[in-house]
């Protein structure tokens, strides 16, 4: 009941995930897997979210931005 109300007010919390899916072919890589090569799908709304196997957690939007900046900084430093 509370979860349904929360979902109606704020949208899906993405609390139920599929098993992480690793994309092997770069040509078929989707946007969620672009960062780590692995993604999970929300079983409630179907949204695909990037997943980090090393930390074993879903990567949030804030972490995505941080990782892109870090990758860009490393690229420019080299
Ligand atoms: Zn969701």
Other CB atoms within 10 Å distance of the CB of residue 12: 13
Residue 8 lies in a domain: no
Residue 24 lies in a domain: yes
Distance 21 CA to ligand 1 centre (A): 16
The residue segments making up the domain with residue 68 are 14-77
Residue 3 lies in a domain: no
Q: Tell me the pLDDT band of 72, cut-offs 50, 70 and 90.
A: confident
Distance 27 CA to ligand 1 centre (A): 26
Between 6 and 62, the more confident residue is 62
Q: How many domains does the chain have?
A: 1
Residue 27 lies in a domain: yes
Share of the chain above pLDDT 70, in %: 86
Distance CA 78, CA 66 (A): 19
- Could you tell me the pTM of the whole model? 0.67
Residue 31 lies in a domain: yes
Name 58's bridge partners: 51
Between 10 and 29, the more confident residue is 10
Residue 7 lies in a domain: no
- Dump pLDDT digits (tens) for 27-52: 566 787 887 889 999 999 999 999 99
């Amino acid at each position: 009941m509370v979860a349904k109300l929360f979902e109606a007010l704020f949208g899906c919390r993405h609390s139920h995930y599929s098993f992480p899916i690793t994309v092997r072919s770069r040509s078929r890589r989707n946007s969620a897997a672009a960062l780590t090569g692995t993604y999970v799908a929300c079983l409630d709304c179907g949204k695909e979210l990037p997943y980090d196997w090393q930390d074993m957690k879903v990567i949030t939007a804030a972490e995505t931005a941080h990782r892109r900046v870090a990758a860009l900084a490393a690229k420019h430093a080299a």
